[in-house]
Amino acid sequence: MAQTKSTLTHLECSMCGKLYEPNRLLNLCHECERPLLARYDLGKAALTMTKESLRTREASLWRYEEVLPVQNDWAMLRLGEGWTPLHHARRLGESIGCSNTYIKDEGLNVTASFKARGLAMAVSRAYELGARELAIPSAGNAACALSAYAAAAGLPAHVFMPKDVPTLFQVECHELGANVTLVDGLINDCGVKVREGVAAYGWFDVSTLKEPYRVEGKKTMGYELAEQMDWELPDVIIYPTGGGTGMVGMWKAFDEMEKMGLIGSKRPRMVTVQSSGCAPIVRAFEQGAAHAELWQGAKTIADGLRVPVAIGDFLILRAIRESGGIAVTVTDEEMLHYARVMGSKSGIFPAPEGAATLAAQVHLLEQGWIEPDERVVLFNTGSGLKYAHLWANMVK
């Protein structure tokens, strides 16, 4: 059967550097229990994945197959993931005094959030390597994306979400055929339930950064951004950070692209945005710490940001610092306010997480941290349509 152009060579522990043969199902590093990262023969990848050849490739994240892990064509699960539009939001930018404001609209992904990128890759690869049942702890969107790709592969999915997760997320998972369990607690408590199922039934755990391939799916945001900006990365990227897969993934993508000769050494300043009700990464950044402690009593309307502890914390913090970036909080009220600003001035109806990036941009402009002529990319990580429960209160 046909092989992909993947140049995957091995997996490497992000903490201790231990190497692993890639073609078997793995979660964390056996030595230090930290994330494994996929490594490629980038010299070989650069021979076929050229700027020229990319022009005629399929309009999905699979266009970057040389730097993706899937080995066999039959294992690539395709539901239309990735290759989302990058909009120059002129009216919005002018209204806040930063005319080069762009929005990468991830709300157009399968199941209406960028979680589709990570789960497309993790489920394709787990399917290829023979996983029989998949399980995930999720604040909402990841569970929906897993449900969709597991259905496409024909694998059972077990999803664990906090019991106060909005109804729509539960319904979507259920209708996509997943086994839904609601947990009295937060995403980390859901993680405990998943580990019980892994031990008892041999499920494969696709928690963020606890298997090596979700980050490979999410890194395609970095490749797309470069390609859509004609290989000239922006000055600033503002990203709503929960588990941090997107931050870690994009930072990895930039490094790979430089090694492939697609971009130079200039990097965007990476900005992490969290809610003032759950900001473990911001706190660790401000303290100059390498790791983030668990955030007690996490509470925010932005479900994707309700992540009190992240296993990839040190990788997120490293990306922010190496890039000369910053980590900031915004309030839930600001998210609701700026959702309408973004919507009415750009035509994009954002998730509260997406609105958080605009709130952060306005603060950073006011502080002079962003200059008015800089090129700024906001990540709208999901569609506002999934948050009807929030907006319903706002229509008066």
Site residues for ligand PLP per CB under 6 A: 113, 115, 141, 208, 240-246, 304, 351, 353, 381-382
Q: How far is the CB of 115 from ligand PLP (least distance, A)?
A: 5
Q: Residue 46 or residue 376: which is nearer to ligand PLP going by CB?
A: 376
End-to-end CA distance of the chain: 58
* Cα distance between residue 74 and residue 57, in whole Å: 18
Tokens at 54, concatenated? 């990319």
Q: How far is the CB of 49 from ligand PLP (least distance, A)?
A: 24
Cα distances from 284 to residues 250, 277, 313, in angstroms, run: 21, 15, 9
Q: Residue 75 or residue 108: which is nearer to ligand PLP going by CB?
A: 108
* Cα distance between residue 382 and residue 111, in whole Å: 9
User: What are the b/e assignments for 228-259, b being 16+ CB within 10 Å?
Assistant: beeeebbbbbbbbbbbbbbbbbbbbbbbbbee
Q: How far is the CB of 135 from ligand PLP (least distance, A)?
A: 17
**Which candidate, 279, 283, 284, places its Cα nearest to that of 306?**
279
Q: Residue 42 or residue 247: which is nearer to ligand PLP going by CB?
A: 247
Q: How far is the CB of 177 from ligand PLP (least distance, A)?
A: 20
Q: Residue 63 or residue 306: which is nearer to ligand PLP going by CB?
A: 306
Q: How far is the CB of 24 from ligand PLP (least distance, A)?
A: 25
* Cα distance between residue 160 and residue 180, in whole Å: 6
Q: Residue 17 or residue 80: which is nearer to ligand PLP going by CB?
A: 80
The answer to whether 209 and 311 are in contact (CB under 8 A) is yes
- Measured from each CB, the residue nearest to ligand PLP is 304
Beta strands of 244-357 (E only): which ranges? 269-275, 326-330
Q: Residue 69 or residue 243: which is nearer to ligand PLP going by CB?
A: 243
Q: Residue 99 or residue 210: which is nearer to ligand PLP going by CB?
A: 210
Q: How far is the CB of 58 from ligand PLP (least distance, A)?
A: 24
Which sign, positive or negative, has the C-alpha torsion 110, 112, 114, 119?
negative
Q: Residue 69 or residue 118: which is nearer to ligand PLP going by CB?
A: 118
Could you give the dihedral angle defined by the CA atoms of residues 132, 133, 138 and 143, in that order, rounded to the nearest 10 degrees? Answer: 90
User: What are the b/e assignments for 329-362, b being 16+ CB within 10 Å?
Assistant: bbebebbbbbbebbbebbebbbbbbbbbbbbbbb
Q: How far is the CB of 220 from ligand PLP (least distance, A)?
A: 13
Q: How far is the CB of 244 from ligand PLP (least distance, A)?
A: 5
Under DSSP, is residue 213 helix (H, G, I), strand (E, B) or coil? coil
Beta strands of 262-395 (E only): which ranges? 269-275, 326-330, 376-380
